[in-house]
Amino acid sequence: MNKITFLPRLQHERDKFENLLNQVGFARQLTMVGVFVNLSIKDLLADILTREQFIADRLNEILHGESYWTSTSHTALENFQKANGYPDYESPLCDMEKLNHLVIHKYKNIALDDIVEQELASYANILSAMIKLTHNQCLDHDLFHRVAEHTYKPYRKTGSEINRWLKSLETEIK
């Protein structure tokens, strides 16, 4: 993989996700619970936001020659989340596939518009950093895989939950 193929793929996945959110429509539907268990699209966006913040911060560390070490103890994992406001998603102690309910709770009382604004800024930071990083830095830090894990893989997972929910709403209406 290289940046010439990766960045358009990332943008394509992003565009599909944003189109789906636009399809859902107005803000009231984005805050309705039940999309995934008792969560709303807003809650799922908060999860995506923190995953993007996580990788944006790691990319920034690489750009500045700083090192990131995964949390290897539960205490370190808790301290990481307290310090950063999001989990250490790449820690072997963190299940990357599961939603972090501390994150969902943290964003419960934050307006949807604020979450969207922060999420867009995190995505822009990812793009900006990826453009600045060299091809060798991307390879040395396995960034094509890592960025995908924190961006378009969650977009796809959330997108499938939203599509499932939309189909269930159509069925209820009929």
User: What does the pLDDT look like over 139-168, one tens digit per residue?
Assistant: 999 999 999 999 999 999 999 999 998 888
pLDDT for the residue numbered 169:
78
127 neighbors 120 (Cβ within 8 angstroms): no
Predicted confidence at residue 25, as pLDDT, reads: 72
Tell me the one-letter amino acid at 134: T
pLDDT of 74 over the 70 cut: yes
Q: How far apart are CA 48 and CA 46, in angstroms?
A: 5
Contact 74, 66 (CB under 8 A): no
Average pLDDT of the residues of the chain:
91
pLDDT digits (tens, 9 = 90+) for 16-71: 999 998 888 754 577 788 888 888 999 999 999 999 999 999 999 999 999 899 99
> How far are the Cα atoms of 36, 44, 53, 106 from residue 16, in angstroms, in the given order?
19, 16, 20, 27
Q: What is the mean pLDDT of residues 84-107?
A: 90
Confidence of residue 97 (pLDDT cuts 50, 70, 90): confident
Q: What is the pLDDT of residues 115-137, one digit of tens each?
A: 999 999 999 999 999 999 999 99
Strand partners, 36: 39
Token pair in block for residue 89: 């998603």
- Tokens 């990131």 locate to 68
pLDDT computed for residue 171 by the predictor: 75
pLDDT at 5 over 70: yes
Judged against a pLDDT cut of 70, whether residue 113 lies above it is answered with yes
Instruction: Identify the CA nearest to 96 among candidates 71, 133, 121.
Output: 71
pTM confidence score: 0.92
User: Residues 104-123: what's their mean pLDDT?
Assistant: 93
d(C-alpha 104, C-alpha 73), whole Å: 23
Can you name the residues that pair with 39 across neighbouring β-strands?
Answer: 36
